[in-house]
Amino acid sequence: MSDTPDVKSCTASEPADGASAPHTSLHYHFGMLLGVTDFETEQAYHRGKMWLHNAWLHREGVVWGFNVLADTANGEIRVTRGLALDRLGRELHLEADACLSVPAWFAAHREDPGFELVEAPDGTFTFDAHVVVRFKACLTRQVPALAEPCDHSSAATAYSREFETVEILLRPGLAPAREKPYRRLRLLLGVREPGRDPESGDLFAEDIAVLQAPRTLAQFRLLAALDEIDLEPPEPGEFPVTLANVTGVTLTRNSSALALSAATVDVGVRPTHVATSTIQELLTGSQLRSDGPRIVPNSIVIAEGPPASVILGLDQPLAPQSVTSDVFSLTAFNPATGWTDLVLDPPTLSDADSTVAMTFTGPLPAGALVRFIIRGSGTKPLLGADLAPFNHGQDYVHDQRN
């Protein structure tokens, strides 16, 4: 007999012995009498440890599968098999594809509170919805069992398996936005917009402080600590994982029945897990790919001549057509007169296209601060031979006092 039951045969949802107790374990000793509660405690301890790890170190998200498809020919929303984690760290596993009849679902839920839909004069209905998956555990596989004391029945059975599966639900409206954790770090790294006061429209002072803080390892550690302090266990409730938004769901009347004629699925709203090994490769790849030429340390020489000249060396060959006068600028600052532009002559390349030299109109003002800028940004940046922008696509500034 298979231990994997038909989901439809499940008789109970989330039975008591599916509980999590990650901080209480059995203390075995010789001659110990073990009962049902002891085995439940043993399972709850190991189950709880795993869920605790999943919830806090991985958080909710789809691991693989769980594609959502609109099957207009059959009038169904189809969800393929997959694996996900919910906010409590529970594994959501679906072994076979599941389908939902949209017309039948609509007939059952069109009067639900908050269900917003548009009804056209020809009897066509249009609305938005979203698909979620949530944890469900049920009891299965009945076997003979000893009767309870004083129970005079001649035979008794009990469920011998607890099967963990899922419920897949289609809900009206788009998936609600959820505040993501580590908001300070997200702002620091540019993956969250700063918040604004709803009345004044001003940026929150805390977010301004994050934006103005130096991007250092010490600052990262500080903000990580503050974000971690803010985290709290979730309140009791259901913990569905969003799989997709389904927009523009259109039901048209076919004779006396409704038929699904259109629906657009967006799986980009789901939280998704990326494997650790893949993350390692992605991060390593960003370091190994060509980031364009960079200045060889201490290679910039600004000399008064004659003739006055600038020479610089790069660690990679340059694209010759990108080495133009527009890429370079040379200015001098005198406390008495301010900034002065020094005119640079067209640059020349040598040493296998990795050394640039150019002359300029001198002499340099005595005691002036000289600033030499090489453009890695803008519309006409300096490029490497492989067309990668100079200096990671950023300008390079060299200052020296004359």
pLDDT per residue as tens digits for the range 380-396: 999 999 898 898 888 99
Q: Beta partners for 247? A: 264
pLDDT band at 114 (very low <50, low <70, confident <90, very high): confident
Using a 10 angstrom Cβ sphere, with 0-12 exposed, 13-18 middle and 19 or more buried, the burial of residue 91 is middle
Q: What is the dihedral of CA 211, 215, 220, 223, to 10 degrees?
A: -20
Looking at the predicted structure, is the pLDDT value of residue 110 above 70? yes
Cα–Cα distance for residue pair 108/112, rounded to 1 Å? 8
Q: Which residues neighbour 206 within 8 Å (Cβ) at sequence distance 6 or greater?
A: 184
- Phi, psi for 185 (deg, rounded to 5): -65, -40
Question: For residue 55, how many C-alpha atoms fall within 13 Å in the half-sphere facing its CB?
Answer: 17
353: left (phi over 0), alpha (psi -120 to 50) or beta: left
Distance CA 358, CA 301 (A): 11
99-110: average pLDDT: 94
Chain length of the chain? 402
How far is residue 330 CA from its own chain's centroid? 43
Tens digit of each residue's pLDDT (9 = 90 or more) over 289-328 = 557 899 999 999 998 878 889 999 999 999 999 999 999 9
Please name the residue that has the structure tokens 């694996």.
Answer: 83
Q: Which segments of 149-289 are extended strands (E)?
A: 157-172, 241-254, 257-266
- Determine the Cα–Cα distance for residues 256 and 77; give it in Å rounded to an integer: 21
* 392 phi, psi to nearest 5 deg: 60, 25
Token reading at 195: 């918040």
The predicted-structure confidence for 4-58, as pLDDT tens digits, reads as follows 555 555 554 444 456 778 899 999 999 999 998 999 899 999 999 999 999 999 9
- 191 φ/ψ angles, rounded to the nearest 5 degrees: -110, 15
The predicted-structure confidence for 156-176, as pLDDT tens digits, reads as follows 888 888 889 999 999 999 999
Give the Cα separation of 389 and 80 in Å (integer): 43
Q: How confident is the model at residue 261 (pLDDT cuts 50, 70, 90)?
A: very high
Chain centre distance of CA 233: 21
Domains along the sequence of the chain with CATH: 7-171+242-277 (no CATH), 183-230 (no CATH), 301-401 (2.60.40.1220)
| Helix, strand or coil, per DSSP, at residue 358 | strand
Least confidently predicted of 179-183, 286-290, 338-342, 394-398: 286-290
Alpha helices, DSSP H, located in 235-371: 276-288
